[in-house]
């Protein structure tokens, strides 16, 4: 048996055999939620280990008012909206971008902000607005797109920003969990200082990767250390996450953007947790360029996405989950997004056992076969 396979077996045994105190673990990242379901990892958990979903899906925590602002740009200002696919079907107060497109609005799905900037350069008669939604992982590419547009003189490109940073969310959620399962891709950019600071303040957590073995290892380390009774932080994804993170990515964001207060769906406004373009780049800021009035938005009162994002409500407890709200006809953002908790519970929650057959193969896969 290889060393990596042996390590995976030890981690699995430690997780399955955990007999310590009850522990609630928050999967901050929506991709973790989906992978834990898909790989059948929940079947390994003893009764006293509870996984709860958190706010780590950027589409899910984007407030309804942002969708309303995008609709205003599409329908009232005649802009071409460029966006990642998940946002197209997220409901606004009255319509979604898919509804607007059916009414003749120009809504284009792109793979990256660079695609949107290139489209703007090729279509100078259209005002192209990219919906800049995401955490530390995707924000640098949005900044690079603006810098490139500025260097090339592409003045018909702008961002409607809803970029957010995670430290404020960790603080807001610290009372909802005993232990954070931190997202590896975020901390590949930010580094681990915020996690270390939280541990010193009494908030425990582990950074996890995204393969079955990496997730099982992080969970096993987490519950084992939790049983010792002292706050801790462990980086269980060292092949990608370094203490210093990515200084280059942080520099480009600091050059182009500045912190601002931001509203998070289900959580409310978190001071300093948002990012907006600096004043010297205002010509590429859609809110400034098109005089977009802030919108509070109006959520469907039957939807409990906000409570799901706070870890206060499992998706199945929402009265519309799986009934009025399905991936084909979503009521809330958590059912739309490919990283949404409701989407994960809908796709896998009713038949978790079918995924377990893949767990052993993935948990013992050679290192070279893993995806980061």
pLDDT tens sequence across 209-249: 999 999 999 999 999 999 999 999 999 999 999 999 999 99
- Total-model pTM: 0.87
> In terms of Cα–Cα distance, which of 204, 200, 206, 193 is closest to 242?
193
pLDDT at 4 over 70: no
Question: Is the Cβ–Cβ distance between 277 and 252 less than 8 Å?
Answer: no
d(CA 297, CA 30): 24
Of the ranges 9-18, 57-66, 207-216, 299-308, which one carries the lowest mean pLDDT score?
Answer: 299-308
> In terms of Cα–Cα distance, which of 270, 307, 299 is closest to 176?
307
Question: Residue 198 has what pLDDT?
Answer: 96
Average pLDDT of span 122-137: 97
Question: Residue 213 has what pLDDT?
Answer: 94
d(CA 329, CA 297): 20
d(CA 240, CA 230): 26
Tell me the pairing of strands 157-164 and 268-277: antiparallel
> In terms of Cα–Cα distance, which of 130, 129, 136, 240 is closest to 188?
240
Helix (H/G/I), strand (E/B), else coil: 90? coil
d(CA 163, CA 156): 21
Of the ranges 152-156, 160-164, 289-293, 325-329, which one carries the lowest mean pLDDT score?
Answer: 325-329
Q: Which residues contact 83 (CB under 8 A, 6 or more apart)?
A: 70, 97, 107, 108, 109, 110, 130, 131, 133
Phi, psi of 250 (to 5 degrees): -70, -35
Average pLDDT of span 253-267: 93
């Amino acid at each position: 048996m290889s060393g990596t396979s042996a390590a995976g077996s030890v981690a699995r045994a430690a997780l399955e055999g955990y007999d310590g105190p009850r522990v609630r673990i928050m999967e901050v990242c929506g991709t973790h939620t989906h992978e834990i379901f898909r790989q059948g990892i929940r079947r390994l958990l003893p009764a006293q280990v509870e996984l709860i979903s958190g706010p780590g899906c950027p589409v899910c925590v984007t407030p309804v008012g942002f969708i309303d602002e995008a609709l205003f740009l599409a329908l009232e200002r005649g802009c071409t909206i460029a966006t990642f696919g998940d946002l197209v079907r997220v409901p606004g107060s009255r319509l979604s971008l898919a509804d607007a497109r059916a009414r003749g609005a120009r809504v284009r799905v792109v793979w990256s902000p660079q695609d949107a900037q290139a489209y703007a350069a090729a279509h100078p008669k259209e005002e192209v607005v990219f919906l800049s939604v995401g955490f530390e992982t995707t924000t640098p590419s949005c900044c690079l797109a603006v810098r490139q547009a500025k260097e090339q003189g592409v003045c018909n490109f702008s961002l409607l920003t809803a970029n957010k940073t995670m430290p404020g969310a960790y603080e807001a959620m610290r009372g909802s969990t005993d232990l954070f399962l931190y997202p590896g891709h975020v901390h590949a950019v930010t580094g681990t200082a915020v996690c270390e600071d939280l541990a010193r303040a009494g908030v425990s957590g582990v950074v996890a990767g995204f393969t079955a073995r990496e997730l099982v290892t992080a969970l096993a380390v987490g519950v084992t250390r939790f049983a010792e009774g002292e706050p801790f932080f462990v980086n269980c994804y060292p092949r990608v996450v370094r203490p210093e993170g990515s200084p280059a990515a942080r520099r480009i964001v600091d050059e182009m953007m500045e912190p601002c207060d931001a509203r998070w769906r289900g959580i409310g406004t978190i001071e300093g947790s948002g990012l907006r373009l600096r004043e010297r780049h205002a010509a590429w800021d859609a809110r400034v360029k098109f005089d977009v009035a802030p919108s509070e938005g109006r959520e469907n009162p039957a939807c409990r996405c906000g409570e799901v994002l706070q870890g206060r409500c499992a998706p199945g407890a929402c009265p519309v989950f799986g009934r009025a709200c399905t991936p084909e006809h979503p009521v809330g953002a958590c059912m739309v997004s490919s990283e949404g908790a409701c989407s994960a519970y809908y796709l896998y929650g009713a038949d978790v056992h079918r995924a377990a057959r893949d767990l052993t193969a993935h948990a013992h896969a050679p290192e070279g076969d893993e995806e980061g």
